[in-house]
Amino acid sequence: MMNSFFVTGTDTDVGKTCVSAAIAKHLRDNDIDVGVMKPFASGYKATSDSISEDVEILMKYSGANDPIHLVNPYYFEIPTSPYDASKQLNLEIDISKVIESYKQLASIHDVVIVEGIGGIMTPISKNYFVSNLISDLELSSFIVTGSKIGTVNHFMLTYEHVQQKKLDLKGFLVNQNVSDGYELTNLKHQIFGLTGRKVYGAIPHNPSFTIESYVEKFPNFVDMSNLGLENI
């Protein structure tokens, strides 16, 4: 059976939620009981009783119907890091609450996809970052990267930190999230040449982007058979 895994990124808005939702849909379509988790989410709510848009997307495509307090233990109504949000809103973050929520989800699903917030060094508290959470959850991870100029610096900094922390890295996924920037084949070659790690796929830019079309077309651009999902 496949282990659960963590989806992190080189930055915010590189497509972590899209990738997580697409993989969740693939698992669901293959009769796998998949759970999803977004430990920390931030941003303004559409309505007072609405949930994070990212969490809504994850739950929709996974088909999971777990309690929100497990799927998303912390939601901050300002678009910033958990560390900064906790300071501005005078809240205390309890990492044990996050870990316990994950364990509960893992006990009722075959696989749990955990999506991070921001990049791998996004601060959750003063001396605790997304990378620390990955380590404490004992999960392997995928790194999602964008394609804008500057991405090479971003993925190398992320990769070096993963190496330093001795995290279990499965590999990279590329989202061409801008119309200009790096050409996808070139970027894939750079990632592999500089890190030696597999690039499982690269999703081309779509000026008419919708999450529905992204999820539907995802298997056309990603080597799903070798994502580590084949032994489920």
Active site residue ranges: 38
For 66, phi then psi, to 5°, come to -85, 160
Please tell me the distance from the alpha carbon of residue 104 to that of residue 93, in angstroms, as a whole number: 19
* H or E element in which residue 40 lies: strand 40-42
Which of 89, 85, 90, 149 has the alpha carbon at shortest distance from 118?
Answer: 85
- In this structure, is the dihedral angle defined by the CA atoms of residues 56, 36, 82 and 10, taken in order, positive or negative? negative
Q: What is the DSSP letter of 2?
A: P
Q: Which helix (H) or strand (E) holds 193?
A: helix 184-195
Which of 66, 41, 43, 67 has the alpha carbon at shortest distance from 55? 41
